[in-house]
Amino acid sequence: MSYAERLQRITTERGRLCVGIDPMPSVLDAWGLPHDVSGLEACARGIVEQIGQEVAVFKPQSAFFEAFGSRGVAVLERVLEDISAAGALSILDVKRGDIGSSMAGYAAAFLGDDAPIRADAITLSPYLGVGSLQPAIDAAVAGGQGLYVLARTSNPDGATIQLADAGGHTVAQHVVDTITELNTVSDHAVGLVVGGTHADSGCNLEAFNASILVPGIGAQGGTIEGLTPIFGDAMRHVLPTASRGVIGHGVDKVAPLARQLVSEVASRLV
């Protein structure tokens, strides 16, 4: 089964919400946990333990695990296993981007049955050229996994590059159009990252043909009700993502906040 098919199945069952697993210092503080590997593990795995049977997709942010070196990466591997055991999908936020054999090396780390840090999908940066991502695209398709390529990110600084002119259209639009074409021969395995924090995304997504990961819901100011004006006809592809808005208020608030958002997504995203 392809990634697109698995995503469709799980979101039909559980709704279209992705919860970010971002065990940053402020989140550990809110949970009353120490800033060490034990706190990292208790928080990250605790999130999945609480809502792993209810949420469709989780997005662990690799940076917060890598910050603890090999021990943190070992925790990340266990978190990914927990997500899989709960029947949910994982999108590992690593934002890798390189060329040739280096890109193939990153692909081998995360994609394929033998990958040591295997996730259902990973995020990639296209700013060495979309074509440089081909080794990862090939590996994802072969492994039934997915990719999410940065197009229009939720941070304000992204506009300088992403909205720059690329010959009559923005750089973001170039990424969108190129990925749309690639998906016709790539099992619709390649999605986009488009933030939910901008009144105008700066790109036309009407013809896009795969999943759109939408970070920025909650703590960054994005809202579920604000997505339709941004995405229009592409709403059927949108996978809203909330991180601190769900996990950043303490361990006792995770489940009720997640359920509230799942319900809101179900009522507003059609």
Find out whether 163 and 172 touch, Cβ atoms under 8 Å: yes
Q: Do residues 100 and 22 make contact, with C-beta atoms less than 8 angstroms apart?
A: no
Residue 232 DSSP one-character state: G
Residue 117 structure tokens: 């840090």
Catalytic positions, written as ranges: 95
Tokens found for residue 80: 């990914």
Contact 97, 147 (CB under 8 A): no
The 10 Å CB-count burial string (b at 16+, else e) for 41-76 is: bbbbbbbbebbbebbbbbbbbbebbeebeeebeebb
Q: 65 vs 20, 62, 118, 167, 248, CA distance in Å?
A: 13, 5, 15, 39, 17
Query: Which residues lie closer than 8 Å to 122 by C-beta, 6 or more apart?
Result: 91, 92, 93, 94, 96, 110, 111, 136, 145, 147, 148
